[in-house]
Amino acid sequence: MSVDLSYLGLVPDGVYFRWPTPKLVEAAVKNNEGHLLHNLAFAVRTGHTGRSPKDRFVVDDANTHDTVKWNAINQPIAEANFDAIFERIQQYVRAYSVWVQDVYAGADERYQVPVRFIGSAAWQALFVRNMFIVPEDDEYGDFKPEWNVIGVPGMSLDESLALQLGLHSSDFILVNFTRKLVLVGGTGYAGEIKKSMFTVLNYLLPEQGVLPMHASVNVGHDDVVTVFFGLSGTGKTTLSMDPERLFLGDDEHGWSDDGVFNFEGGCYAKTIRLSAENEPLIYAATERHGTTVENVAWDPLDRYIDYDDGDYTENGRASFAIDAIPGAILSGKAGHPACIIFLTADAFGVLPPVARLSPEQAAYHFSLGYTAKVAGTERGVKEPEPVFSALYGEPFFPRSHATYIKLFMEKLRKHNLPVWLVNTGWTGGKYGVGKRIDIPVTRAIIRAIQEGELGDVEFTTNPVFGFDVPLSCPDVPSGILDPASTWADKAAYKQEQQALAQRFIDRAATLELPAEVLAQNPRI
């Protein structure tokens, strides 16, 4: 089976069309793209160990000029410069074979986008099969790609040419909404493929009344849907994969008038310090043929992974199809949320393990998207650093923040949903002094929220941040709920609390927020 790619001006040396997982693994091994590990997962080093936001651009043309929020994240590139780079890709692939996969982005048939991935690495085609929705055999006859994604990790531009074309380096991630085409070159990090299509859906869906969400979702056996918003490292994947609940997806979803649906067909989990004890479902999924693991440490002799070794990077990743998770909802669709949880990893030890938010407070925290980086997660980070990413995923939302905030508030009020802020970060002091909140404690908090067990407990209002903090929670030591009481140095806590509150205020001042949302600033 083959396919003619001349409609894109591509005439590769060879085309391997819709190959299944076993053949892709064989090809990746044969091509020396990586190594098979003891569990038959495929391990690869991608060169780049994370996304490169400075190398991502959106074509500025008649369709996008007034609809994209241009800034340091949504950087414009001229149509002519996009075309010049595309021409070089067309020349490049003449000397290479490509692997082609036809997949869907979006589980809800009314909103899903048919995508053709064309790449020069077999292992990335394997990644695409893991991460997107693979059509059934009888669906392929009607498949017509609407978007095309071309990945050429081995092709970097000449540095001087890249600068002439308006880029910042020899690598590029380019999105053309008019031609429905994504170009990824120079970087082998597979997350660029996944996040590019997330960006596409985030641009398209608001016009159809769908709120795109950087969030994970699980569902109770009583059909109670929980949505978890959170940035990388806050526990979004870990906490949504609850053995006692059904699993919808770990990262990207849409919220339509009928409920929520997954954008993906797989999971892309962080693996640093992964353990069978704390994250049994994810750990088991990595022990599987067809799983890809990026940038992890493994023994060259017995080929066992050392998930505690972060010397190469703390951003090791595992990609696996969603059917690797027992209890996964394979349709990718569920009803409306019964509750929403914002996850943050506060490395300053200031925020409580759980707090209840009003609708206006929920919109405020959604607008700011706070978490923290700690030492070791990025080169040069010595002390905890605050991170604010609007909408809990700012780099992936091309339209103005107001577009998404308005949709969020409309849906929140329409369905009258409770919203909770859950801190998975530090207690008893900031990073380096205190300790990270244990996963079983956080799981107990999540369970109490989902089962409505916090509805009848007594709350106190935090005088600085204004949210309500429960005085008790089932299966959670009551002493941990008030962060100030866990610090030995009360003056130090007060200082860190004031400093974090000021950071919130400073960040909010840079955003275009409605008055009712801005009024939720902390009180110093």
Active site residues: 51, 195, 214, 232, 236-237, 251, 317
Task: Kindly report the length of the chain.
Answer: 524
List C-alpha distances in Å: 109 to 112, 256, 263, 360: 5, 12, 11, 33
Radius of gyration over alpha carbons of the chain, in Å? 23
Contact 217, 325 (CB under 8 A): no
CB 437 within 8 A of CB 424: yes
Judged on CB neighbours under 10 Å (0-12, 13-18, 19+), 308 is exposed
Angle at 287 between CA 283 and CA 290, to 5 degrees: 120
SS3 264: coil
Q: Which two tokens stand for residue 21?
A: 């997982």
DSSP 154-209: T----HHHHHHTT-SSS-EEEEETTTTEEEEES---THHHHHHHHHHHHHHGGGGT
d(CA 212, CA 263): 9
**Can you tell me the distance from the alpha carbon of 293 to that of 318, in angstroms, rounded to the nearest whole number?**
4
Report the distance separating Cα 12 and Cα 155, nearest Å: 14
The one-letter amino acid at 279: E
Q: What letters, b where the CB count within 10 A reaches 16 and e where it falls short, cover 316-354? A: bbbbbbbebbeebbeebbbebbbbbbbbbbbbbbbbbbb
